[in-house]
Every structure is written in structure tokens, then in C-alpha cells.
A and B are shown apart, each in its own frame.
Chain A
Amino acid sequence: MIKTFEVKSQDFQSAGQVSSAIKKLLKQLAVPADIIRRIAVASYEAEINMIIHSLGGTIVLDIEDDNIALTFQDEGPGIKDIDLAMQPGYSTASAKAREFGFGAGMGLCNIKRMADYFHISSKENSPTVLSIGFKVIE
């Protein structure tokens, strides 16, 4: 099953709605709770990143029997130094994003920790594509 969700830039009002919908769907499909929780946390951080750091984009959820994959693709502006962005505590978040409780610089490293598979590709003035995967073992 493949589902696609839209994410708008700076749309703080609906921030988290996609991750919330994904969590609900996985619950209906009776995916084990601890796996749902890891997916939910990673998805929420990645969704927030698209809202606060990017020009918007799409989230694609791909559910297979033994694997759940998520792809977060935005329209830029991209990440100049991925190694630096991955470092715990590194953040370029705006004051507005901080008001909403984000910008601790812990998002990317948490996403990586939660996922079984993690790949991010980006450069300056380019889209960012983040792909993560979770093995489903009953």
C-alpha cells in the first residue's frame, strides 16, 4: 500500500497531522506498538523539518508485509553540510520554530536512531530527500 501526503512550508497550524494520520493507519493495520512508536517519532521530526526548514513537499508511506518505508521529499532549499546537520544540537531553526517547541537540533539524529534504514541526500539550493525504513517483525 502506498500513500502520499502533502506538507506545506511554515504551516505550523497543521504540523503533525500527517504523522498523526500515519500513526492511526498503522494502528488499524495492527503493526506492533513499539514499531509504530519508532515510526511515529521519526515521522513527526521529519514532518516538522519539512515545515520549518523547507519550501514544502511530500511524504510517501509505503507499507509492505515485512517493511515500512517513508520518503520525505521537499523542494529545497537543501542542506549544505549534512554531517554538520546530523550533529546533536546543531540547528538553524527560526525563532518561530522554537516558539513551537522545535529547534533543539535533535531531530535528524533521533530519526536515524529510530529507523532500521536511514538515507539522506541533499545539497545547497536543492531538494532534500530523506528515506527511512522499518523492519516489521511480528
Chain B
Amino acid sequence: MKLADIADKMPLKFLCLPDDDLLDNDFTYAFASDLMSDALYLVNHDAGKTLLLTGLVNTQSLITAEMLDIKMLIYVRNKEVPQELLNLAKDKEIGIAAFAGTMFKACGLLYDFGLKEAS
């Protein structure tokens, strides 16, 4: 599903969108965790089509996305995201969006849209 449509339906609020083309990007998979080692272990294919959802608002989640070649990070529960982190995301060309609800809600919605678990 296109990021623009996902963002409309959830809804998501974009905090960093390094490239407008990302909105047209199809996302087929999602991975959700606050444990970055689990993401580093379990996301192995199609990272460019994978959304990373986490409540961990810090550089570690951003660098995890960078190492995995993940292009889009979703922070759940509308946590405050420091400007410094957004600048770093722009630098690394990784998108960041905020979702107001819980991780459970975010995953349920994405599952409903037909996204699959990252593998």
C-alpha cells in the first residue's frame, strides 16, 4: 500500500519527509518492536518496503533503520520527537511519522490494510 494512503487512513503525521517520492512508495511489510536487536535480527528482506514501528524515540531506532536500509520509521503514542533527531533523520534520508494511538492499534490497522510481517 502506498505510504500516502497508509498515512491518510491511520492517520499518520509526518515529522520528517526527506523525499516526496516516499509517499508513492509501496509498503508491503511492517515490523514493530522496542527491541532494536530484534529488528536487526528479524528484518532480512525488502527493507525498502518495510515500515519500522517503535515507541523508542531515540537515535538508536533511527540508526537501526539506517543499518537495515529501512526508509520509514513510525513512532507510536505521539511521543515528543526532538528536532535534533529529525535533523539526523533528514541527513540519513529516513522518513519519520508519528501515530497518536498505541503500538497495538497501529499494528492492527496495518494488518487490516493487508501489510504483512517482515521476514
Contact = CB atoms under 8 A, between A and B. Distances in A.
Interface stretch (A67-75, A78-86, A97-105, A127-135): A97-105
A45 B68 CA distance: 12
A84 to B, nearest CB: 17
Nearest to A114: B40
B68 A37 contact: yes
Given A16-B60, A44-B64, A101-B56, A37 B69 contact: yes
A60 to B, nearest CB: 19
Interface of A: 13, 15-16, 19-20, 23, 33, 37, 40-41, 43-45, 100-107, 109-110
Contacts, number: 69
B67 A101 contact: no
Interface stretch (B10-18, B20-28, B30-38): B30-38
Interface string B47-83: 1000000101011110110111100000000000000
Contacts of B60: 15-16, 100-102
B103 to A, nearest CB: 14
Contacts of A41: 40, 67-68
Among A13, A101, A107, the most chain B Cβ lie within 10 Å of the Cβ of A101
A109 B54 CA distance: 23
A100 B41 contact: no
A104 B67 contact: no
Contacts of A105: 37
Given A23-B67, A37-B69, A106 B41 contact: yes
Nearest to A37: B69
Contacts of A100: 56, 58, 60
